[in-house]
Amino acid sequence: PVPLKMVSACLAGVQCRYNGQAKTVPLLKDMVQRGDAITLCPERLAGLATPRRPAEIVGGDGYAVLDGKARVYNDCGEDLTGAFIIAAYKTLHILQAAGIGEVVLKEGSPSCGSREIYDGTFSGTKRDGVGVTAALLLRSGIRVYSEQTLLGDSQPEPVLSKM
């Protein structure tokens, strides 16, 4: 049998993004509907509401947040660092309990981004870096892909054959 994967819920059609919308990738939605993947939304697991104010990591990336060297704020200046760290650990614990070692996470998110995130200035500017949940999963040995690496955007890794 195909090993079970986890997919960011918003990529599989769940309307859990900050703006109340999904960012559906049909291939991933199909994977979930076939029963080959489960969906999780780290930020919803931490109890954040949908819709919610957009959040960005200020002062570093997800690794820096885990290490206490950067923080997560929304665009009203509310400090959401604790919720984002809870989101990461809840996600990790569910994956470990389910024996899931491979995930496809939404690129660009302060939780799920695995190659790029927004730079903390709320100006729509991206920078290289990982989100908080992605950082914890990577540190814990989970294989993390994004919908962009999965779709062959700029990664040589033949991810599709493994999915």
Which residue in 10, 80, 130, 134 binds ligand SF4 (CB under 6 A)? Answer: 10
- The reply on whether position 109 binds ligand SF4 by CB under 6 A is yes
Q: Name the token pair of 32.
A: 């979930």
Residue 152 CA to residue 155 CA, distance in Å, equals 6
Q: Name the token pair of 62.
A: 């997800």
In sign, the C-alpha dihedral spanning 109, 12, 84, 90 is: negative
Binding part of the chain for ligand SF4, among 28-36, 109-117, 138-146, 154-162 by CB under 6 A, reads 109-117
Closest by CA to 13, choosing from 2, 22, 5, is: 22
Residue placing its CB nearer to ligand SF4 in the complex, 29 or 106: 106
Residue 83 CA to residue 89 CA, distance in Å, equals 10
Residue placing its CB nearer to ligand SF4 in the complex, 44 or 161: 44
- The reply on whether position 37 binds ligand SF4 by CB under 6 A is no
CA dihedral 104, 108, 112, 113 (to 10 degrees): 80
The least distance separating ligand SF4 from the CB of residue 154, rounded to whole angstroms, comes to 20
- The reply on whether position 114 binds ligand SF4 by CB under 6 A is no
Q: What does the binding site for ligand SF4 look like in residue numbers (CB under 6 A)?
A: 8-10, 16-17, 41-43, 106, 109, 111-112
